[in-house]
């Protein structure tokens, strides 16, 4: 996908995700329903990846490798747990605000990557798919199903 199409899909996916959060109160956001996670935990880990991958895209825009020397992102479960744990003490409103701010930074970083770096099989497209577009699609159905059970 070219840059314009990728960024449009990214924004639409994020809008769908945040739309699914509308109407969930503090109790609903903190109720565990997805394995050991609540909606708040899901949101916190998505925000964590957005923070981390914003930095990766900033490095790419400077002509550097996306991953710093000596850092390994391959153990996604460990990173996910770290991101969720970091926000445990925060209320849901704060976690959602962090999600929105991290997305603003993520989108800004994605826009800073030159158009010619976008395309099928390119690093930026894979990064945005795994930490953005695909990530939203992965978690959106579970949140929607949970929300539907709360409001039959």
Q: Is the pLDDT of residue 152 over 70?
A: no
Q: What is the pLDDT of residues 8-49, one digit of tens each?
A: 999 999 999 999 999 999 999 999 999 999 999 999 999 999
Distance between CA atoms of 97 and 74, rounded to whole angstroms?
27
Check: pTM over 0.85? Answer yes or no. yes
The DSSP code for 87 is: T
Taking residue 112's Cβ as centre, other Cβ atoms within 10 Å add up to: 13
Give the side-chain half-sphere CA count within 13 A for 68: 6
Average pLDDT over the chain reads 95
Helix (H) or strand (E) holding 15: helix 3-21
Q: What is the CA radius of gyration of the chain?
A: 16
**Local confidence band at 110 (pLDDT 50, 70, 90 cut-offs):** very high
Alpha carbon distance 7, 20 (integer Å): 20
Q: What is the pLDDT averaged over residues 121-133? A: 96
Q: Assign residue 95 a region: left if phi > 0, alpha if psi is -120 to 50, beta otherwise? A: alpha
| pLDDT > 90? residue 139 | yes
Q: What is the DSSP letter of 121?
A: T
User: What is the percentage of the chain residues whose pLDDT exceeds 90?
Assistant: 91
CA 128 to chain centre: 9
Task: For residue range 75-84, list pLDDT tens digits in order.
Answer: 998 998 899 9
Question: Does the domain formed by 3-150 have CATH 3.40.50.970?
Answer: no
pLDDT of residue 79: 92
């Amino acid at each position: 996908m070219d840059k314009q199409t990728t960024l449009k899909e990214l924004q639409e996916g994020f809008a769908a995700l945040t739309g699914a959060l509308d109407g969930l109160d503090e109790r609903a956001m903190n109720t565990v329903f997805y394995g050991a996670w609540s909606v708040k935990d899901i949101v916190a880990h998505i925000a964590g990846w957005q923070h981390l991958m914003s930095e990766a895209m900033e490095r790419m825009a400077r002509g550097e490798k996306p991953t710093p020397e000596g850092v390994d992102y391959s153990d996604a479960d460990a990173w996910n747990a770290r991101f969720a744990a970091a926000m445990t003490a925060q209320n849901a409103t704060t976690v959602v605000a962090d999600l929105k701010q991290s997305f603003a930074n993520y989108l800004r970083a994605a826009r800073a990557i030159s158009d010619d770096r976008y395309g099928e099989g390119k690093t930026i497209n894979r990064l945005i798919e795994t930490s953005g577009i695909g990530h939203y699609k992965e978690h959106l159905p579970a949140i929607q199903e949970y929300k539907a059970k709360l409001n039959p």
